[in-house]
Amino acid sequence: MGMTLRAIDADNWHACVKLTVSEEQKQNVAENAVSLAQAAYEKQWYPHGIYADDMLVGFLMFGTDQETKRVELCFMIDKQYQGKGYGTAALVTLFDLIKIRYGPISFYTSIVPDNLTAKKIYENAGFRMTGEILWEELVMVKQLV
């Protein structure tokens, strides 16, 4: 499987907004259209499609949060592609991109407390709980060196 991250642009934004999670997961992640709107107005955010070979399987966005001044991640895999290793592969690919763009940093994400699937994926990728709660979510961090 060839895993790539491609910037969201005029060619793939429509397919990106069609990606979705299951009904029970919708409370855990923002809709991709909302994230793309945020990126359009807050230029420090970088939205990308997650591609397995040439198939769009998910979406992620990273950037510097204005409130915390931390480089953070928003992330989802479409419901029909979950459980196939795409999330883990996308994170590994993303870590290389983040290191190139920002150098060695503390890289953050957050999860809804009962989102055990996301917690497991992030922990397997090296994120650890900080003990901090922001926006009613548990904050996780990974040191990128």
> Where in the sequence numbering do the catalytic residues fall?
122
Closest-CA residue to 75 (of 25, 116, 14, 32): 32
Cα 109 off chain centre by: 8
CA-atom Rg of the chain in angstroms: 14
Both tokens of 68, joined, read 């915390």
107-138 exposure pattern, b = at least 16 Cβ within 10 A, e = fewer: bbbbbbeebeebbebbeebebeeeeeeeeeeb
